[in-house]
């Protein structure tokens, strides 16, 4: 405890801080951390497999692309009405309601194959209910992004911001990794993808309900301020006008990089399960394409976990800009490298390991976003930045779906071209945060 306090007083950060301080957290923070861990497991177990689920249920590339775009739209829009609801009913009730709504969304996904309906000449396919579930699943995620950034900024010295974000990312992505491993195991032991994914969804429901119950009964929100500063459209306009100038080239480059990534994000699994139908044997266990995809994502996450903190520390010597640029480069070239690679398990595994390096630049990226903000405006600056970026990226899924339906190679190549354009603009015009210069 004394060592932890000393570290905090120095404004430093350690990659294991999240774990060392876990048992010493204030009860409310601990409760919310447990809930976030539970939902992270559920989200990561399910979301990367939903496009394949839709394909098996009969959805085409354009429909899958629309699903991705709708998810981006929800991610951009939900935090604002979420804050308004929290104002009216209180954070504890709002978090509980949104937690159960997310669990209900997983349940819609679970029963979707059996909900195909015929109304006269009109047939409603099962994949339609995936869209209904999407609106519900995203509910719990409508809180926390801006607050997380602001807390890290307020508790960490400027020159250690990247390391501070590496600590929080480490804790969250361990949940992601465990979720992926659990999903891989379930897919490996079930007879078909649909049965396996339904088992994954059942586990996700259990995690979502458990996390919601824990936060409802143990979380005391008397001193909480989540959502109480929501000021409506006028506040959004003000925050857009007041966004720090150094963020503009970063926002432009980041938006283009994410647009390219959004074009192919939902279709990466199709390369493994549909185009290549890639199978592999891992530790003596024969894995089908869907289960092997889980292994690939786990490899990506392990590389992310191992590289984030060392690279964040490296940024303290080289500056944030080169590290962020590295992450952008990996984001940009991954699509074309993957689609043109030979369908060999070892080669593809190496490509996903390379893809994990894009997360190495994420802590530095977050530090570069929140660094220029005034001390008490980190949450607002972050919220504005992500609102703009996520809104512009919304059409990327549909664009990617249209191109994928025409030719998958074209879709992935265009995604890389857009990503490289954004990377180049950032490297030429992006500004360094003075604390790292």
Q: What is the CATH number of the domain that holds 150?
A: 1.20.1250.20
Question: Who contacts 49 (Cβ-Cβ below 8 Å, separation ≥6)?
Answer: 183, 197, 200, 269, 290, 293
Which one of 261-270, 313-322, 365-374 scores highest in mean pLDDT?
261-270
- Lowest-confidence region among 37-41, 109-113, 353-357, 423-427: 37-41
Which whole number is the average pLDDT over 95-115?
91
**What pLDDT does 150 receive?**
47
Per the domain annotation, does 14 fall within a domain? no
**What pLDDT does 342 receive?**
97
Residue 88 neighbours by CB distance under 10 Å: 9
Geometric angle at alpha carbon 125, from 124 and 130, rounded to 5°: 110
pLDDT in tens, 2-34: 444 444 444 455 555 545 544 444 455 556 666
Identify the band that residue 319 occupies on the pLDDT scale cut at 50, 70 and 90.
Answer: confident
Distance CA 6, CA 10 (A): 6
10 Å CB burial of residue 250 (0-12, 13-18, 19+) is buried
Can you say whether the dihedral through the CA atoms of 113, 75, 300, 304 is positive or negative? negative
Given the structure tokens 């962020």, which residue do they identify? 324
Identify the band that residue 360 occupies on the pLDDT scale cut at 50, 70 and 90.
Answer: confident
**What pLDDT does 222 receive?**
57
Domain that holds residue 361: 20-219+232-432
Per the domain annotation, does 8 fall within a domain? no
Helix (H) or strand (E) holding 7: helix 2-9
Identify the band that residue 409 occupies on the pLDDT scale cut at 50, 70 and 90.
Answer: very high
Question: Within 13 Å, how many C-alpha atoms sit on residue 42's CB side?
Answer: 31
pLDDT in tens, 203-254: 999 999 998 888 778 766 555 544 444 455 666 677 677 777 778 899 999 9
Total number of domains constituting the chain: 1
Per the domain annotation, does 256 fall within a domain? yes
Q: What are phi and psi of 379, to 5 degrees?
A: -65, -45
Per the domain annotation, does 15 fall within a domain? no
Helices (H), 47-189: 50-56, 61-77, 79-89, 91-111, 128-137, 145-155, 161-189
Identify the band that residue 95 occupies on the pLDDT scale cut at 50, 70 and 90.
Answer: confident
Per the domain annotation, does 272 fall within a domain? yes
Per the domain annotation, does 7 fall within a domain? no
Per the domain annotation, does 10 fall within a domain? no
In contact, 133 and 201? CB cutoff 8 Å: no
10 Å CB burial of residue 391 (0-12, 13-18, 19+) is middle
Average pLDDT of the chain to the nearest whole number: 81
pLDDT in tens, 260-304: 999 999 999 999 999 999 999 988 899 999 999 999 999 999 998
Per the domain annotation, does 251 fall within a domain? yes
Task: Name which residue leads in pLDDT, 312 or 236.
Answer: 312
**What pLDDT does 221 receive?**
58
In contact, 184 and 196? CB cutoff 8 Å: no
- Lowest-confidence region among 32-36, 374-378, 385-389, 416-420: 374-378
Predicted structure pTM score:
0.85
pLDDT in tens, 265-274: 999 999 999 9
**What pLDDT does 148 receive?**
46
Q: How far is CA 39 from the centre of its chain?
A: 12
**What pLDDT does 10 receive?**
44
């Amino acid at each position: 405890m004394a060592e932890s306090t000393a570290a905090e007083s120095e404004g430093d950060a350690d990659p294991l801080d999240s774990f060392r301080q876990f048992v010493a957290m204030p009860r409310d923070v601990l409760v919310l951390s447990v809930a976030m861990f539970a939902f992270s497991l559920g989200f990561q177990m399910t979301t990367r497999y939903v496009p394949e689920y839709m394909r098996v249920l009969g959805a085409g590339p354009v429909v899958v692309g629309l699903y991705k775009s709708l998810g981006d739209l929800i991610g951009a829009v939900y935090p604002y009405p979420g804050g308004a609801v929290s104002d009216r009913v209180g954070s504890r009730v709002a978090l509980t309601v949104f937690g159960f709504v997310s669990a209900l969304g997983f349940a819609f996904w679970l029963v979707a194959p059996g909900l195909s309906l015929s109304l006269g000449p009109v047939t409603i396919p099962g994949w339609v209910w995936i869209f209904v579930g999407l609106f519900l699943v995203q509910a719990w995620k409508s809180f926390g992004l801006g607050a997380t950034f602001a807390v890290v900024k307020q508790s960490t010295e400027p020159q250690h911001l990247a390391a501070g974000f590496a600590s929080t990312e480490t804790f969250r992505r361990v949940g992601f990794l465990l979720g992926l491993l659990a999903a891989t195991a379930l897919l490996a032991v079930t007879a078909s993808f649909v049965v396996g994914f339904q088992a994954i969804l059942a586990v996700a429901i259990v995690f979502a309900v458990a996390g919601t119950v824990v936060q409802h009964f143990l979380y005391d929100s008397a001193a909480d301020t989540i959502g109480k500063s929501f000021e409506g459209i006028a506040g959004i306009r003000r925050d857009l006008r007041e966004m720090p100038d150094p963020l503009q080239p970063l926002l432009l480059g980041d938006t283009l990089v994410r647009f390219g990534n959004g074009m192919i994000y939902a279709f990466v699994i199709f390369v493994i399960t549909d185009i290549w139908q890639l199978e592999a044997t891992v530790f003596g266990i024969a894995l089908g394409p869907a289960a092997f995809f889980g292994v690939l994502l786990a490899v990506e996450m392990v590389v992310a976990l191992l590289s984030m903190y060392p690279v964040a520390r490296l940024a303290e010597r080289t500056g944030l800009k080169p590290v962020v640029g590295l992450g952008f480069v990996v984001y940009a070239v991954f699509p074309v490298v993957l689609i043109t690679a030979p369908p060999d398990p070892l080669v593809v595994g190496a490509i996903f390991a390379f893809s994990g390096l894009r997360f190495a630049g994420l802590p530095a990226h977050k530090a570069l976003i929140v660094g220029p903000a005034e001390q008490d405006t980190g949450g607002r600056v972050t919220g504005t930045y992500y609102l703009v970026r996520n809104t512009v990226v919304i059409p990327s899924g549909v664009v990617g779906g249209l191109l994928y339906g025409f030719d998958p190679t074209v879709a992935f190549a265009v995604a890389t071209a857009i990503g490289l354009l954004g990377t180049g603009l950032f490297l030429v015009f992006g500004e360094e945060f003075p604390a790292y210069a």
